[in-house]
Amino acid sequence: MIEIQVLMKKTREYTNWTVDIYHIIAPIPQTSFNELSGADPGTTNLGLCLLFSMDDGEDRAILWQVKLQRSDNPVSRMILATQIMNEFADHNWNTKMMTIENSAFGASYRQVELAEQRAAIAMWCVKHPYPVQMVVPMKIRKTVFGSGKIKAHEAWQLAGIPKNKQPNDALAALSCAYYGMMKGE
């Protein structure tokens, strides 16, 4: 397990969602000078990541662990995903590739709602225009960790954060961003 250095943590609260934002030292050296991003959609938890290199050559990432207020209305859910993306990209975002974790084979729980989240995030990227790809979790894990069985939160932990408070969805989004780098963006 790799312990990741946290440079800063802050929390922001909005009407229908809360986000814990972590600025971290990236756990794997970046082989690209491009900004890469990742998303792990969820119905009540959403992970987002922006991976980038600093001018001093140090690789960093901004992780967003979002807690959503669940809605029964699909349009409201997609609007909320769009609002979150607008906030996430508010700081001169110039990603070369957004990798969204796609549906896991055999998963059946809330797949329609997850599909809405993925579609809303993908459409936001297309509209702005940023390249986007959707990749199944097994392929992301195999590429980033060498095994489809290893999950991001099993390989990485944020230093100083208790195990039950780790931003697991944001760590999964980090693995999505690395997939974009490792597969040639």
pLDDT at position 174: 98
pLDDT at position 134: 96
CB atoms within 10 A of CB 105: 8
Q: Is the pLDDT of residue 185 over 60?
A: no
- 3-state SS, one letter per residue, for 77-137: HHHHHHHHHHHHCCCCCCEEEEEEECCCCCCCCCHHHHHHHHHHHHHHHHHCCCCEEEECH
pLDDT at position 112: 82
pLDDT at position 39: 97
Q: How confident is the model at residue 103 (pLDDT cuts 50, 70, 90)?
A: confident
**In angstroms, rounded to a whole number, what is the distance separating the alpha carbons of residues 121 and 87?**
12
- What is the average pLDDT across 158-162? 97
pLDDT at position 108: 62
The tens digit of pLDDT for each residue in 14-49 reads 999 999 999 999 999 888 778 999 999 988 999 999
pTM for the whole structure: 0.94
Q: How confident is the model at residue 91 (pLDDT cuts 50, 70, 90)?
A: low
pLDDT at position 106: 60
pLDDT at position 107: 58
Q: How confident is the model at residue 54 (pLDDT cuts 50, 70, 90)?
A: confident
The tens digit of pLDDT for each residue in 113-132 reads 888 999 999 999 999 888 99
User: Hey, what are 25's tokens?
Assistant: 């030292």
Q: Which CATH class is domain 2-182?
A: alpha beta
- What is the average pLDDT across 180-185? 80
Name the CA dihedral angle for 115, 118, 120, 123, rounded to a multiple of 10 degrees. -120
Question: Whole-number mean pLDDT of the chain?
Answer: 91
Domain-wise residue ranges, the chain: 2-182
Q: Is the pLDDT of residue 99 over 90?
A: yes
